[in-house]
Amino acid sequence: MSRNGILQFIYFFAYLLLQVMVLKKLVLFDTSFCFLYVAFILLLPIETNNLLLMMAAFLLGFCVDIFYDSLGIHALALVVVAYV
């Protein structure tokens, strides 16, 4: 695994922990929620393998779904973002 791969792996867990530990409690005016974890998929390099990108999107979305109790909504949305 290259240095870039290890760095992306660390970013994956950093975005996940930031989302579920800090941003889950941050609600703006009782209507808006901050979902910063989507930036992880959007900021990955263009050269990233499509299969790896979709798997990372699903895994990140699934982990967020576990903490938010949202039954797959985040996983579906993040896979669609990764596909587009």
pLDDT tens string 4-56: 888 888 888 888 888 888 888 888 888 888 888 898 899 888 888 999 999 99
pTM of the entire predicted model: 0.84
Residue 84 CB neighbour total at 10 angstroms: 5
- Three-state SS at 55: helix
Q: Which domain holds residue 26?
A: 3-83
Which pLDDT score, from 0 to 100, does residue 1 have?
64
pLDDT at 35: 86
Other C-beta atoms lying within 10 Å of the C-beta of residue 59: 14
Alpha-carbon distance 53 to 8, whole Å?
Answer: 11
Q: How many domains does the chain have?
A: 1
H/E element, 50: helix 50-68
Which residue(s) pair with 45 in the sheet?
A: none
